[in-house]
Amino acid sequence: MHSGGLIWEFWCEVRERSEQTTMRRRRTRRAPPLEEQVVIMSGPDQSAELKLVVTNTLIVADIQRSVAFYRDVLGATVLREGEPTFLRLGNIWLTINGGGGPTDDKPEVVASPPRDQKVLSIVLNLRVTDIKRYYDLWSSRGAKFITEPKVHAMELRCYMRDPDGYLIEVGQTTMTAGPLDLYV
């Protein structure tokens, strides 16, 4: 089975487990007060919303080496090993997969790690609460940063590369109290 089929199968399992957990919670939760029920019922039909999971797929030269970096250096959790390997890093899902030739659903596309580290096509952006702490921790675990954290207009930031040369930005906003405040 090619990686697209494995990814689909994995996310179906994740969705099923999530739905089972939701059903258990619903059985044990009391109904909200009537005024909240009115607001909920008058809101948009949530059953019509699309349900999806967004993952970032990194094409790498050596899956085990890359998984070790994301797991051991950045602290990601391995959810499924193999080709591909699925990880959770903070609030994102990463798929680590090897390269390969075209497939019937993408007949003219070749998957490969970055060829030129001077050409930027994707950045993994890690927003943190204490950039100095993460810089020190990840450096002690073997991360190679391009520079130390630097002050910019609305943030502190620095960059490192993973084993395949993917650029990873580590940033701490100075505009809000926490890293998620910009996204809520």
* Alpha-helical regions (H) of 114-172: 131-140
Please tell me the pTM assigned to this model. 0.69
* Alpha-helical regions (H) of the chain: 3-28, 34-42, 63-68, 131-140
How far, CA to CA in Å, does 140 sit from each of 50, 72, 74, 118, 134? 42, 11, 11, 26, 10
* Alpha-helical regions (H) of 124-184: 131-140
Q: How would you write the pLDDT of the chain (184 residues) with one tens digit per residue?
A: 555 666 666 655 656 665 665 555 445 445 444 444 344 444 555 566 767 677 899 999 999 999 999 999 999 999 999 999 999 999 999 999 999 999 888 899 999 999 998 998 889 999 999 999 999 999 999 999 999 999 998 899 999 999 999 999 999 988 887 777 767 6
Which residue, chain included where needed, has tokens 């620095």? 158
Q: What pLDDT does 56 receive? A: 92
Q: What pLDDT does 31 receive? A: 45
Q: What pLDDT does 42 receive? A: 46
